[in-house]
Amino acid sequence: MSYVLTVDKRQAFIVRLPGKFAKEKKWALNHKILNMGWEDAIGLTYENLSYEDFRDIMHTHYFPGDDNYRRAGRIAINAWRFIKEMAIGNYILLPNEDGYYIAIITSHAYFEDDFTEAKKGYKRTIKFLNDGKPISGENIPKKLQDKLNTSQSVTDVSDLIQEVEYSLRVT
């Protein structure tokens, strides 16, 4: 008899779309596409890049005058999570003034530079759960509420996967 447990591969991420781009946020919800931008950082989807490569690319394109990599590192970790750590089937939580949306990732990350409705950048397609309706604040477990207040663009909340799934069940 085997007692080996399989590792739970379910993951969840909070994705905070750039707040100043209300038009893009609405477009993403309507077209089921997350667009994170980083349009000047071409090549982030190349397979063999390391986190340090991401940081160097961000530094070169967004902070060339900085004498350290602090700001480039903050952007690079968000890009790394969005492009390298997320996988098809992972949960995405999209904060909204009415609560938050929960979706499932349905594509690998890709770069698109010829787009008419939203700015070019790194994207993923998603499928909304809960019939595409936001989960209200009263149905958000406390631990998850605390994480939803983060200011990072992409936050790994896989440690709260049960809270995410609970939110779907109580709506």
Q: What is the pLDDT of residues 118-128, one digit of tens each?
A: 577 899 999 99
> What is the pLDDT confidence band of residue 36, given thresholds at 50, 70 and 90?
confident
The reply to whether 164 falls in a domain is yes
Total domains in the chain come to 1
Question: In this structure, are residues 94 and 13 in contact, taking their beta carbons and an 8 Å threshold?
Answer: no
The reply to whether 77 falls in a domain is no
Distance CA 68, CA 63 (A): 9
CATH number at residue 24: 3.10.590.10
The reply to whether 157 falls in a domain is yes
Q: pLDDT per residue over 68-89, tens digit each?
A: 999 999 999 999 999 999 999 9
Taking 80 as the threshold, does the pLDDT of residue 164 lie above it? Answer: yes
The reply to whether 72 falls in a domain is no
Distance CA 122, CA 106 (A): 14
Taking 90 as the threshold, does the pLDDT of residue 58 lie above it? Answer: yes
The reply to whether 133 falls in a domain is yes
The residue segments making up the domain with residue 26 are 12-38+87-169
The reply to whether 50 falls in a domain is no
Quick one: average pLDDT of 127-145?
87
In terms of Cβ atoms closer than 10 Å to its own Cβ (0-12, 13-18, 19+), residue 130 is middle
The reply to whether 150 falls in a domain is yes
> What is the pLDDT confidence band of residue 1, given thresholds at 50, 70 and 90?
very low
The reply to whether 59 falls in a domain is no
Q: Is the pTM of this model over 0.75?
A: yes
